[in-house]
Structure 1
Amino acid sequence: MPKKIMVCVDDSIYGVQALEHALVHAVQDNDDVVVVTVVKPQASADYAELVGATGAISSSITDEELQSAGLIEVRDLLKKILIKYPVRANFVVKALLGDPRESLVSYSEEISPDLIVVGSRGRTGLKSLLLGSVSTHVVHHARYPVLVVRPHKN
């Protein structure tokens, strides 16, 4: 019986590793795979720029354009990874707008996945507490099983 698997990715190597792990270890032929990314709204991006975060963002970009760019980025990533790990599943790519923690949990409620796969940066202690962990939030708030893919040691 086909499963529905929600794979959460971002623009980091940890998101890529989560997608690769899901394709190798969780996804089977005919499964429904929803690859999800979350784009922060422009106001949040502007604030991050003000407080000195790296990666300047032009104020002329709308939230919808950011969301569209995130969608294209994830589609391109999926195409590249499927060349390396071919799977005959049904893929949907979704770009959400908002806080990644809340958006992922909320979207999981909409689609009721059998499994959520999310990457982890491997932060612990004070750093995790101060910066907030998307994977930790999803584990504690989602009503569905969550697989956290830890960083690969190279």
Structure 2
Amino acid sequence: MKPERVNVRLSVVAEMTQWINENVQRGIHAADVTKQSGYTHWHFQRLFREVTGYTLSEYIRLSRILSIACVLATSNLKITHICYDYGFPGQQGVARLFRKYLNCTPTDFRRCVQENPDLLSMITDTLLAEYTYVKKASRKDEKKLHLNDAAQTNSNM
């Protein structure tokens, strides 16, 4: 493949990841991103996975979780209000995602970050390292971040 084509594809994926991060609070879906990209839905999904190593939907979920985690760590807003602000119909969906990616509830996360403020940046770095530009062997092999492990690692530094 010609280098110009590779650069254009990488550029489009980079632009779309930035667009996702800027619009994640709107409750966007994969179809919104593919429409914004100018590619067909299936072609962009394939391209995104090829470049990043995970699906477009996974990236959107991860971006939402990281954004919500930042809000939980830096504000006293009620969790329910944060859920609505990020396009979730209730707290259950957010709690499910937190359990999947962080292995805790949003309330536990907030409490841990209040006790250890450096934990937020470490968790963000860990999640991004696990999911960014790394092809996963399979969805069943997804790693979960344990807050206790993260806090223990951070205290040892």
TM-score band, normalised by shorter chain: under 0.3
Q: Which has the higher helix share?
A: 2
Q: TM-score, normalised by structure 2?
A: 0.27
Larger RCO (CA under 8 A, 6+ residues apart): 1
Q: TM-score, normalised by structure 1?
A: 0.27
**Larger Rg: 1 or 2?**
2
Q: Which has the higher strand share?
A: 1
